[in-house]
């Protein structure tokens, strides 16, 4: 199993797809791991060299407790990409993964060929995230499970998927969740994304109550130069509710 060692963390990653194809890095949301992309992979394997990474403190990526930053999480991706032999790559990330992708496009513009922020935002309510972080650190993951699940998936989703995501959420490292929550709380992307040079496709979900187009996606489209937009019939975790549609949008944009 491939791991990359970085200061304060051991990062788990997987390669899929074709080694001779354009590279695509897939990043997960807070509270999930690389399995978030499982249903999308069959539609992308024949087209791309795929790299999935468990974000620091999530899945099999162990991390020391503490507040993480968006810059730290972006540097994690660069370290894994180096280890995996990817000099340049496109990035698609959901929620926190999209935030990391935007930070990556700003920190390493020479390496990010295209950017796809999925169901994400450049700004969130810092006070509510501070409360969530304190609750998780004090009471564990069960204390925020209902809140998170209410925003992850819609009522139209499959019960089996809901149960799988909830089980994963309840068993994840509370300190890892809190550390990534601090990165969301403290991010300063909103005033910087106008400098993103990579061609960008903003993906929003029509049933996403966490980062809907109104108030979130619309600002990315307006501020990232030349950004395109596509809306999918999905809630916040679009790879779970609209995998085929998301894969089609990714392929169309990345291969254009």
Q: What is the pLDDT of residues 134-188, one digit of tens each?
A: 999 999 999 999 999 989 998 767 899 999 999 999 999 999 999 999 999 999 9
DSSP structure string for 217-249: IHHHHHHSTT-EEEEES--S-HHHH-HHHHHHH
Of 244, 225, 203, 34, which is closest to residue 120 (Cα–Cα)? 203
pLDDT digits (tens, 9 = 90+) for 185-208: 999 999 999 999 999 999 999 999
> How many residues would you count in the chain?
256
DSSP-derived 3-state class of residue 59: coil
Contact of 96 with 152, CB cutoff 8 Å: no
The overall average pLDDT reported for the chain is 97
| pLDDT > 90? residue 73 | yes
Beta carbons of 193 and 226 less than 8 angstroms apart: no
Structure token digits, residue 164: 């799988």
**What is residue 160's predicted lDDT score, i.e. its pLDDT?**
92
The predicted structure's pLDDT at residue 1: 65
Q: Which two tokens stand for residue 125?
A: 């309510």
Q: Output the pLDDT for position 154.
A: 86
Task: Name 13's Cβ contacts closer than 8 Å, sequence gap at least 6.
Answer: 2, 3, 4, 34, 51, 52, 53, 54, 80, 83, 84
Q: How far apart are CA 215 and CA 251, in angstroms?
A: 27
Contact 234, 211 (CB under 8 A): no
Q: Where are the alpha helices (DSSP H) in the chain?
A: 70-84, 96-107, 126-139, 145-152, 159-171, 174-186, 218-223, 238-241, 243-254
pTM of the model: 0.97
Buried-state track 138-150, b at ≥16 Cβ within 10 A, e below 16: eeebeebbeebbe
């Amino acid at each position: 199993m491939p791991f990359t060692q970085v200061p304060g963390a051991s990062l788990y990653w997987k390669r899929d797809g074709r080694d001779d194809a354009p590279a695509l890095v897939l990043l997960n949301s807070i509270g999930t791991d690389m399995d978030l992309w499982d249903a999308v992979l069959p539609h992308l394997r024949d087209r791309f060299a795929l790299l999935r990474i468990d974000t620091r403190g999530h899945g099999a990526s162990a991390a020391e407790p503490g507040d993480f930053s968006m810059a730290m999480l972006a540097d994690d991706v660069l370290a894994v990409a180096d280890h995996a032999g990817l000099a340049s790559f496109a990035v698609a990330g959901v929620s926190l993964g999209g935030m990391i992708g935007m930070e990556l496009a700003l920190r390493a513009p020479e390496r990010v060929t295209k950017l796809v922020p999925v169901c994400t935002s450049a700004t969130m309510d810092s006070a509510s995230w501070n409360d969530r972080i304190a609750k998780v650190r004090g009471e564990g993951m069960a204390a925020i499970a209902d809140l998170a699940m209410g925003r992850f998936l819609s009522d139209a989703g499959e019960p089996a998927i809901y149960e799988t995501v909830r089980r994963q959420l309840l068993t994840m490292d509370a300190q890892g969740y809190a550390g990534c929550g601090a990165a969301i709380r403290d991010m300063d992307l909103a005033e910087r994304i106008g400098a993103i040079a990579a061609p960008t496709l903003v993906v929003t979900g029509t049933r996403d109550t966490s980062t809907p187009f109104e108030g979130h996606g619309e600002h990315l489209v307006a501020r990232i130069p030349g950004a395109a937009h596509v809306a999918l019939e999905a809630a916040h975790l679009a790879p779970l509710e609209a995998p085929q549609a998301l894969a089609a949008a990714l392929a169309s944009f990345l291969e254009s």
